[in-house]
Amino acid sequence: MEPDLSFEATLESYTVSSGSGSKLRSYTTNIIDPDSRNDLSAASSSGGLSGKGSSMSLPQDASAAATAVAAAADVNGGAADVKVSLADSSGVAASTSTVDDFVAEEQLFDPNCDPNNPKPIQFQDVSAAAYKIRKGIVRTPCDRSHMSRITNMDIYLKKDFLQYTGSFKERGARYTLLCLDKEQRKVGVVAASAGNHALALAYHGQELGIPVAVVMPTMAPLMKIYACMQYGARVVVTGNDFNEAKIIAMRIAKTEGLLYVNGYDHPQILAGQGTIGLEIIEQMSKTVDAVVVPVGGGGLIAGIAVAMKTMSPNTLIIGAESERCPSFTDALKSGEPVQSVVKSSLADGLSVPKVGSNAFYSCRDIIDRIVTVSEEFIALAILRLLELEKVVVEGAGAAGLAAILQGLLPELQGKTVVVILCGGNIDTTVLGRVIERGLAVDGRLIHFVTTVSDRPGGIAELSAILAGMGVSIKDIFHERAWLKSDIFQVKVRCVCEVRDREHGEELLAKLKDKYGHVSVN
């Protein structure tokens, strides 16, 4: 007989039912045997089982991972009672299962996004999408920017962050849902996303009465997880990154008969995003010389390029991607989508390690240029939009403007340029840090270190110099213990806000005249 095992557990990934009185459907955890205190690392299990306390037998091989499933267990103080049936409780710690182990016996395949058989979209696909979604999405404004006067370009901002859920993703999501046949509408769809695609599908699924499941990696913002639940989606939080979440989502699609909707490569997603291009042509009273588009997985630029190049062949289509994830640049160099190295970025919505095949082959021959932008200028673009346009966008949404501010597109001087602001769902905890980084890049936030007298009035004298020049002190710190010079001197670290870069240079020059050595970070 297999022995029962009681355990303590900390939830690592979980599935929560939507609505009030939420239920814990399933979870992944590290189980701790209270007797042997050995960790048995649990693998992910999605969808839940019927009956509370359902158990699952484990392989005899102690190197296999233990799997624990809480089926429809009540969330109560962060804990759930689960009985696990063990085939071997010898006290040997099991190794951690990977997602690859978890789906090793399954062939997970998305027929709509086959790299060996790509499906490039055509203009008629975009046109059909525009007709179908016309009553369900916001026709966002395309307004002239205040930054036209400081960039020597006639800039217009296509503000698609004004969609109900805060991003352009609604266009493709709604069109894909509207194209489902009657049977699939009853069963529903599933997607993997850390944010905007999940929000768009959840909202429009609720609007159209179509069941939606979204798999979100554990690093997804809690704000977005909660929003998806509020829109009635079944939310599965699992996987360390998007790739792991995608595997789980495709497994759910296979076992439950749901349609897996790739957020940046499904043909209908691409067609829906292309409706932005049609709106730009309708809204602009003058010829558009160029459109600058943020690039992640490639779905947005693919749709816009197909629409714009058909209706306005001479309009340049320029992509802007983060230098910390240059996946489209790498794909163009290789002639096909390839895996790229991804690093943490302010433009996390663009951090797709491999561009979509359908997207790539739809636009590789009709886009004119791809540039990579730095983190500093993404932060500066967010700051400029906040100060001059009175709008808040996320890092991905600001990438196109960042390319202009960084000076990567000098050929557009004197031209009429439309910049796509594709998303506004920036994490509120990040916004303050982004603003400070933008101020530093702009030369308006200065961090300097100097040495002043430690006798009465020394710090006051420094403060008087700063005040006399109209400089605002944001932070000041003085240290004595690590100073190796005069015992009656003190090292002062100061963060100040100045009007502009020239004002900052005047300040530093005056400080050097007064104190000699001044170091600037």
pLDDT tens sequence across 262-312: 999 999 999 999 999 999 999 999 999 999 999 999 999 999 999 999 999
Cα torsion angle, 297, 298, 301, 302, sign = negative
The β-bridge relationship of strands 23-32 and 73-74 is antiparallel
C-alpha radius of gyration, the chain, whole number? 27
| CB neighbour class for 493 (10 Å; exposed up to 12, middle 13-18, buried from 19) | middle
Half-sphere exposure of 11 (CA within 13 A, CB side): 23
Question: Where do we find the tokens 């991003």?
Answer: 167
Pick the CATH number of 444-520 from 3.30.70.260, 3.90.1150.10, 3.30.70.2200, 3.40.50.1980: 3.30.70.260
Question: Could you give the 3-state DSSP secondary structure of residue 235?
Answer: strand
What CA–CA distance (Å, rounded) separates 178 from 261? 13
In this prediction, residue 7 carries a pLDDT of: 44
Conformational region of residue 515, where left means phi above 0, alpha means psi within -120 to 50, and beta covers everything else: alpha
Contact 339, 353 (CB under 8 A): yes
Which helix (H) or strand (E) is 401 found in, with range? helix 399-405
- Report the distance separating Cα 69 and Cα 250, nearest Å: 19
Please tell me the pTM assigned to this model: 0.78
| Residue of 298, 296, 297, 355 whose CA lies nearest to 331 | 355
What is the CATH topology of the domain spanning 110-442? Answer: Rossmann fold (3.40.50)
What is residue 224's predicted lDDT score, i.e. its pLDDT? Answer: 86
pLDDT at 16: 54
Length reported for the chain: 521
Helices 299-311 and 123-133 sit at what angle, rounded to 10 degrees?
Answer: 100
User: Which phi and psi angles does 9 have, rounded to 5°?
Assistant: -145, 145
Strand 259-260 relative to strand 189-192, pairing: parallel
Pairing between strand 416-421 and 290-294?
parallel
CA–CA separation, 425 and 9 (whole Å): 33
Tens digit of each residue's pLDDT (9 = 90 or more) over 326-340? 999 999 999 999 999
**Token pair 């997603």: residue:** 269
What are the backbone angles phi and psi of residue 70, rounded to the nearest 5°? Answer: -100, 110
Burial class for 32, CB neighbours closer than 10 Å (0-12, 13-18, 19+): middle
Cβ atoms of residues 316 and 329 within 8 Å = no
Domain limits, CATH 3.30.70.260, in the chain: 444-520
Query: How far apart are the C-alpha atoms of 228 and 205, rounded to whole Å?
Result: 11
**pLDDT at residue number 482:** 73
Q: What is the DSSP string of 415-459?
A: SEEEEEE-B----HHHHHHHHHHHHHHTT-EEEEEEEEE-STTHH
Question: For residue 16, what are its two tokens?
Answer: 């929560």
Distance CA 374, CA 438 (A): 12
Which regions of the chain carry the CATH code 3.40.50.1100? 110-442
Task: Please state, in angstroms and rounded to a whole number, the distance separating the CA atoms of residues 66 and 97.
Answer: 8
Three-state secondary structure call for residue 312? coil
Q: Which residues pair with 74 in a beta bridge?
A: 23
Q: Which residues pair with 292 in a beta bridge?
A: 318, 419
Closest to 353 in 3D by CA, of 376, 372, 325: 325
Successive 10-residue mean pLDDT values, the chain, 521 residues? 44 53 49 38 35 32 34 36 32 35 60 95 97 96 96 97 97 98 96 93 97 92 89 92 89 95 97 98 97 97 98 97 95 95 88 94 97 96 96 96 97 97 91 93 93 89 94 89 77 93 93 90 79
